[in-house]
Amino acid sequence: MSRILSFQTRIIDIPTVRPHKLSFGSIQQQSYCIVRAELASGAVGWGEAATIGGASWNEESPESIQHAIQSYLIPAVMGHEAGEFETLLQRMDKSCRGNYFAKSAVEMALIDAVARSQGIPAYQLLGGKLHQQLPLAWTLATGDVDKDLEEATRKLAERKHRIFKIKIGARRPEEDVALVTEIAKALAGHAKITVDVNQAWDGNTARRYVPELAHAGVDLIEQPVAQWNTEAMASLVAMPMRTLIMADESICSPQDAYALAHQHASHVFSLKVAKHGGLHRTRKVAAVAEAADIGWYGGTMLETSLGSAASAHVFATLAGTHHGCELFGPQLLVDDIVESQMIVRDFELVIPDGPGYGVTVDEAKLARFDRARVGLTAVHVDMGRQTAFKSN
């Protein structure tokens, strides 16, 4: 056992290899709040929280995450035993409501530090590794059918991905259905097709177009309606079709999980370490899914290899029916912050062994992408951020 000695936080910005278009906008860079935790024993651990499009995906942004960590979460846990995770979560909750992304970054760093100090992989602190690897999805989000198909064909040939999630919701639903139908037809027999509407439709639009997507061969439809629209989700689940309805933005807390299960409003939950408030709480949400016969999917906020490896460690411990994962964030970035990335083999992500999350943070790379690096003024940063995300 060892007490928490210190923390450091910083925001980094990493450009993406191509624009990533979602229902609410287009991103050209990903921003992260990175946390370094040091224990009295000298052990060091790293955590990360990623957001998509600043504060566009949900209420938190890299800046709010850093502020919550510095002002409230660090004072709440400083000097306490690093391995007493449940106590630390309660202390963070008492000092700061919500702010789950921020809490997840702190907890992620502490789990890494404790696992490293014991020389064990983090999954051993979380119940042990049930899966050696998980099927790895890729997201098609260029907004152009030819470019999407070219990308999917390349990923298939490289034996990296054969589950493709298409981001829709920015265009008219008829146009989206036409694009999805064309891609699904071209890849039929070679790949599984899923879509993510990112809350763009109202209930009536969803009830009209979900059957058309099902007819096109889509296996799974993610968050077709607003995060609050549980009744519409339930009406889609009740439709007689083989296509599954997955909650993403709707499912954050274990209480959300219970409410969705109780109202039969999801076939599958997309699990994400950030929105659940950490790795332990991801397991609590997964436990509700398992109890309610709801499947799970290993979701992403487009983390670097650090956050992706941490997510992989907790996903690897989960029982119940799963639909693979989409921890492809590192492949969407021009560069990473670790020495070597996780292995992707035969369409599956191999869960990394080794102490902590099994990846080694490269501090020179962190410095290269640090928003506060010498010479970058606040004005430049603001201008950079405006061009890095364009809302619709």
Q: Closer CB to Mg ion, residue 106 or residue 233?
A: 233
Min. distance of Cβ 167 from ligand MUC in angstroms? 6
Min. distance of Cβ 357 from Mg ion in angstroms? 23
Tell me which of 222, 249, 303, 326 is the catalytic residue.
326
- Select from 236, 181, 173 the least CA-distant residue to 203: 236
Cβ atoms within 10 Å of 283's Cβ, excluding its own? 18
Min. distance of Cβ 383 from ligand MUC in angstroms? 24
Q: Closer CB to ligand MUC, residue 251 or residue 286?
A: 251
- 29 phi, psi to nearest 5 deg: -155, 155
| Residue 300: contacted member of ligand MUC, Mg ion, none (CB under 5 to 8 Å, by partner type) | ligand MUC
Site for ligand MUC in 108-127 (CB under 6 A): none
Letter for the amino acid at 294?
I
Site for ligand MUC in 353-392 (CB under 6 A): none
Task: For residue 365, indicate whether it is catalytic.
Answer: no
Distance between start and end Cα atoms, the chain: 49
Please identify, among the stretches 82-90, 257-265, 279-287, 295-303, the one whose residues bind ligand MUC according to the rule CB under 6 A.
Answer: 295-303
Taking CB under 6 A as the rule, does residue 198 contact ligand MUC? yes
Q: Write each residue from 71 to 110 as x if it is in contact with ligand MUC (CB under 6 A), else as -, in one continuous string.
A: ----------------------------------------
> 14: part of which helix (H) or strand (E)?
strand 4-22
Please count the helices (runs of H) and the strands (runs of E) in the chain.
15, 15
Q: In sequence order, what E strands does 273-339 have?
A: 295-298, 322-325
Taking the C-alpha atoms of 32, 38, 44 and 45 in order, what is their torsion angle to the nearest 10 degrees? -40
Query: Residue with structure tokens 């968050």?
Result: 223
Min. distance of Cβ 100 from Mg ion in angstroms? 16
Please identify, among the stretches 280-288, 294-302, 363-371, 380-388, the one whose residues bind ligand MUC according to the rule CB under 6 A.
Answer: 294-302
Q: Closer CB to ligand MUC, residue 113 or residue 166?
A: 166
Q: Out of 139, 229, 235, 311, name the contact with ligand MUC by CB under 6 A.
A: 139
Cα-Cα-Cα-Cα dihedral sign, residues 25, 27, 33, 34: positive
- 71 phi, psi to nearest 5 deg: -85, -35
Tell me which of 165, 167, 192, 272 is the catalytic residue.
167
**153-168 burial: b if 16+ Cβ within 10 Å, else e:** eebbeeebbbbbbbbb
For helices 279-291 and 85-95, the axis angle rounded to 10 degrees is 100
- Active site (catalytic) residues: 167, 326
Residues that bind ligand MUC (CB under 6 A): 52, 139, 141, 167, 196, 198, 248, 299-300, 302, 326
